Structure 1
Amino acid sequence: MRALTVVPEQPGSLRVDTVPDPRPGPGELLVRGLALGVCGTDKEIARGEYGWAPPGRERLVLGHESFGQVLEPVGDFAEGDLVVGVVRRPDPVPCGACAAGEFDMCRNGRYTERGIKEIDGYGSELWTVEADYAVRLDPRLRDVGMLLEPTTVVAKAWEQIQRVGERAWFEPKRVLVTGAGPIGLLGALLGVQQGLDVHVLDRVTDGPKPRLAQALGATYHHEPVEKVLGALEPDIVLEATGVGSLVFDAMAGTGSYGIVCLTGVSPTGRSLTVDAGTVNRELVLENDVVIGSVNANLRHYRAAADALGRADLGWLAGLVTRRVPLDKAADAFEATGDDVKVVLDLAGER
């Protein structure tokens, strides 16, 4: 079979290889890969910035935004079911969080991740997954099932926001989402589903991003963040860019008892001048909270599947702005101006 592979920490090593077909072990499903979402993490690994091959191997099968169809079922799964594989596996020790099923909160860093850290990913024509780490999708999501994994990221973020807010009386009204990429727009989707007044901020002024935000029922902004924050004073900021200056602006720009949830990962090596005293004063005197959120556990996968199942299919399809056949996978790693979500077609013609 064909698979998208890379040598971690070696720039320029991305290629489509022919590798042996996988054989499912006990309790594992055999799945025909249908599609694979490409995200910033995949691009960083392809650039050689990080990544870990399976022990004893040089190359890693890339891809964690999976979507496929069951060929050989196990347990409650049936042949033909549409499934997504969970990305992270708990550490073998395990730490207290992993032992409790909260492996997205692993405390010792010994977790593994499909397509990222020490386990082959889902970027292949066939793959296997333990039945306990597979999530079934509604058949109506056949064209957009690869959006589940990024939706799990914001499902967790919203869960964490709710948990923090409920330390006291909590009835948020307005949320600002910074960034109109897949994470930002899916985060806005979940905010709309909660009945919140959702605002989305991004730099672009035309193309699919403003249209998608507006079609969702959100208000789209492209003005400077200080102006938007000053006008809105949002109860919640869901930060999805990782831009350092935006992070600190958001921390200082919420309403009283505001919550800022960071989902974007900032690059290192860039310095900012910050009035730390003012930031600290506002956080303390207004009971504000800043939290980071990454990855997802099984609970978040199920919540995300439910959210996608309730979403408008036409809107979800609009997030996928480019589909690339597997044999031209390198094209999916080259950005274009109008990209929102780029998807690799794993089941197309050779």
Structure 2
Amino acid sequence: MKAIAVIPGQAHSVHLADIPKPQLTDIPDGRGVLVKVLRVGVDGTDKEINAAEYGAAPPGEQILVLGHESFGVVEAVGPHVTDLSPGDFVVATVRRSGSSLYDQIGTYDMTTDDQYFERGINLRHGFLTEYYVDDAEYIVKVPPGLKEEGVLLEPASVIEKGIAQAFEIQRRLRVWRPKRAAVLGAGPIGLLATMALRLKGIQVCTFALSKPPYVNSDLVKEIGGCYHSTKDLSLSAAARDHGPYDLIFEATGVASLVFEAMNILGKNGVLVLSGVSGGGRSVEVPGDRINLGFVLGNKVVVGTVNANREYFEMGVKDLAHAQLQWPGWPAKLLTHPIQGLDRYQDMMRTLTDTKGAIKVFVNVAPIPD
């Protein structure tokens, strides 16, 4: 069967590979689920792996199949799978269990192992292929009403994890009722974070570089958020205008913005970091002021990346809620479809060169009615 793959460590090696179709018996104990792939979202991770910045093939293999944002339909299940049936729409989590204590209790996204396993990223093949097989533990059912938006669930799981962690941390306060939030970045993660926070009734200001109006700013306003370009209004000025932020969700990876966010976070506030900073840039910051604010203001910083099935299930609930509250809004994030695995070069060009793309995704097979 066809698959979009790279040769890890070899830059710009993306190609169409021919690999064996997986079998239910590849998974022990009758827990296998055979899934026909329908759509796969792609993002900067796939671009960076193709640039040989990271990524590793499964042991004994020369290639790595790309794609960690899956959506598909169950074709067959093993004899010990009781909660999934052929015809179910599903997504798969990305991280796979290692040996740490956290892996053993199902929180494999919090592993302390030095080596980790991620489908489409590190030591495990991804989903940009026609079929995959996995253990039912890693397969999450998606209701038919979300079959158009289901491919958004992997990025949605990242923001769900970050926001859930913020609320879990704030149990220390006995009561925490955040009223104002800022989201830094208006890409898929930033827009999904804006959505999830608005669903909680929180006032949200989303900040990005581009000046409005454009598609992303319109999407923020459509669900009751406010949008600001950082070219027109700094975070510090916005905090003075809107009052201190109880929660800031960062989705840019820009270190200077991270430290500015630390400086304006309100007392008892939480800063959630989801962006990954690259390179070796140095940033001059008001370190004493930030340190003083965090100590005296009981502030917290927490990171979020990768998620276990609990957060995928939260994403299902929030996407369903959003679809009911703002019909058609989630699907508007799916801006750039690529038709078929054969169009892998178009996929990479779109990821690299297309301005205004929110979510690029590959239509691998037609979605059943």
Task: Give TM-score, length-normalised by structure 1.
Answer: 0.96
1:253 CA displacement: 0.6
Moved more, 19-28 or 81-90: 19-28
Please state how far the C-alpha of 1:261 moved relative to its aligned partner: 0.6
Which residue pairs with 1:84 in the alignment?
Answer: 91
> Aligned-pair RMSD on alpha carbons?
1.5
Determine the structure 1 residue equivalent to 2:6: 6
Q: Is the 8 A contact 2:4 2:17 kept in 1?
A: yes
Shift of 1:267: 0.7
Match of 1:18, as an amino acid? D
Q: Does 1:283 align with 2:294?
A: yes
Pairing 1:335–2:353 present: yes
Conserved 8 A contact 2:247-2:271: yes
Q: Does 1:198 align with 2:204?
A: yes
Indicate yes or no: 2:334 matched with 1:320: yes
Structure 1: how far apart are the matches of 2:135 and 2:346? 31
* Number of residue pairs aligned between Structure 1 and Structure 2: 347
2:245 pairs with 1:234: yes
CA contact (8 A) 1:235 1:254 kept: yes
Contact 2:94 2:119 in 1 (8 A): yes
CA distance in 2, matches of 1:286, 1:321: 41
Distance 1:199 1:315 in 2: 18
Structure 2 unmatched runs, 5+? none
Q: Give how far 1:274 is off.
A: 1.6
CA contact (8 A) 2:31 2:77 kept: no
Please give the alpha-carbon distance, in whole angstroms, between the structure 2 residues aligned to 1:11 and 1:68.
29
User: Does the Cα contact within 8 Å between 1:229 and 1:250 map onto a contact in 2?
Assistant: no
Within the candidate set 268, 271, 275, 1:260 is matched to: 271
User: Any stretches of 5+ residues in structure 1 without a counterpart?
Assistant: none
3-state DSSP class of the match of 1:11? coil
Equivalent residue of 1:272, what SS? coil
Aligned identity (percent) is: 38
Q: Does 1:297 align with 2:301?
A: no
Give the distance between the partners of 2:12 and 2:256, measured in 1 at CA.
Answer: 31
The equivalent of 2:23 in structure 1 is: 23
SS state at 1:55 partner: coil
Aligned equivalents of 1:330 and 1:143: distance in 2? 24
User: How far off is 1:73 after superposition?
Assistant: 2.7
Compute the displacement of 1:231 (Å).
2.1
Aligned counterparts of 1:116 and 1:210: Cα–Cα separation in 2 = 31
* Cα deviation code 1:148-169 (max 9, x no counterpart): 1111001100111001122113
Contact 1:178–1:237 (CA<8 Å) still a contact in 2? yes
Code of the residue aligned with 1:143 in structure 2: it is E
How far is 1:310 from its partner?
1.5
Distance 1:77 1:85 in 2: 13
Question: 1:213 is matched with which residue?
Answer: 220
Q: How does 1:174-189 map to 2 (within 5 A)?
A: 174-189=180-195
Amino acid at match of 1:318: K
Q: CA deviation at 1:199?
A: 1.2
- What corresponds to 1:344 in structure 2? 362
1:105-156 Cα offsets, whole Å, 9 max, x none, are 1012333111111111111011112112100001011112110111100110
**Superposed displacement of residue 11, structure 1:** 0.8
Listed one character per residue, the Cα deviations across residues 175-212 of structure 1 (whole Å, up to 9, x for unaligned) are: 10000011111111110111111111111123210011
1:250 paired to 2:250:
no
Q: 2:338–2:346: 8 Å Cα contact kept in structure 1? A: yes
- Corresponding letter in the other structure for 1:224: S
Structure 2 counterpart SS, 1:300:
helix
Cα distance in 1, alignment partners of residues 365 and 255 from structure 2: 39
Which whole-Å CA distance do the structure 2 matches of 1:9 and 1:177 have between them?
34
Amino acid at match of 2:347: A
Give the AA of the match of 1:106.
T
TM-fit CA distance, 1:2: 1.1
Where 1:256 maps in the other structure, the secondary structure is: strand
Deviation at 1:327, TM superposition (A): 1.5
Shift of 1:270: 0.8
Amino acid in the other structure paired with 2:328: G
Q: Which of 157, 164, 184 is equivalent to 1:159?
A: 164
Helix, strand or coil at the partner of 1:337 = coil
Residue 152 of structure 1 aligns to a residue whose secondary structure is: helix
**Offset of residue 44 of structure 1:** 1.0
